[in-house]
Amino acid sequence: MEDLVPHTAEVQQQHAERQRSPEFLAWLAASDSDLDRLVRDDVPALARLDDPWTVDGLRAIEHAVLDYFPNPRLDPNPEQRNQIDRLARGIGHVYTVTLEGFWVWAEPTPIPGKEAHYGPVVELPSAPVWVDPEGLLAHAADKRSGELIQTAYGHAMDNHLEWVAAGRPSHDAWLKIRAGL
């Protein structure tokens, strides 16, 4: 049986090398300080939660995004770029601590009007695609429902619970199970 997503040894090697890139390693090293600043400066409502890294934290982050960016296009000025990075890191952190995800350096889903680039995304053992926290932010800013990020998380949690109930199969095995193969 073939892989659902064929990956050549060369593609796998390139992906592995990106995980060791100095830019990604520096980004990972800044995690604690960025999350502290997110709670302290960007989304103080997180500090009032018993645990900010839950769906309630996602709700607070999404509402902060809508307050900070009243324009439907997430088009930050240079000062806001770092803030968006912290907001996205907070979203991804919820996925890593609650859904057994982990950060990878990859090319996220393209955002219209934004040049393709490599950046941090969350890989979940229960999902066929990466979670792109910055893409979620852009979509939330555009749709302005106040519930988009938490709804996406709810779908990911449902997938995660199914994966756990299936005995936590390997990623490839889980994709085949989900595809009915």
**Other Cβ atoms within 10 Å of 152 Cβ, number:** 19
Burial class (CB in 10 A: 0-12, 13-18, 19+), 106: middle
Give the pLDDT of residue 17. Answer: 87
Spatial separation of the C-alpha atoms in residues 129 and 144, rounded to whole Å: 24
Tens digit of each residue's pLDDT (9 = 90 or more) over 134-169: 989 988 988 889 899 999 999 999 999 999 999 999
Q: What is the pLDDT of residue 4?
A: 43
Least confidently predicted of 8-17, 69-78, 120-129, 152-161: 69-78
3 state DSSP class of 42: helix
Q: Residue 116: what pLDDT?
A: 66
Residue 89, H or E segment:
helix 78-98
- The answer to whether 173 and 1 have CB atoms below 8 angstroms apart is no
Give the per-residue pLDDT at 78: 78
**87-115 pLDDT tens trace:** 999 999 999 999 999 999 988 766 566 67
Which residue(s) pair with 103 in the sheet?
122
Nearest to 25 by CA among 134, 130, 121, 105: 105
Please, which pLDDT band fits residue 118 given cuts at 50, 70 and 90? confident
Paired with 121 in beta bridges are: 104
Amino acid at site 62: E
> pLDDT tens-digit profile of 35-76?
999 999 999 999 999 999 999 999 999 999 999 888 767 667
Q: Rounded to an integer, what distance in angstroms lies between the CA atom of residue 180 and that of residue 44?
A: 44
Amino acid at 57: G
DSSP string, 7-57: --HHHHHHHHHHTT-HHHHHHHHTHHHHHHHIIIII-GGGGGSS-SSSHHH
Residues 97/100/106/109 CA torsion (nearest 10 deg):
-80
Instruction: Please check the confidence at residue 23 and state whether its pLDDT lies above 70.
Output: yes
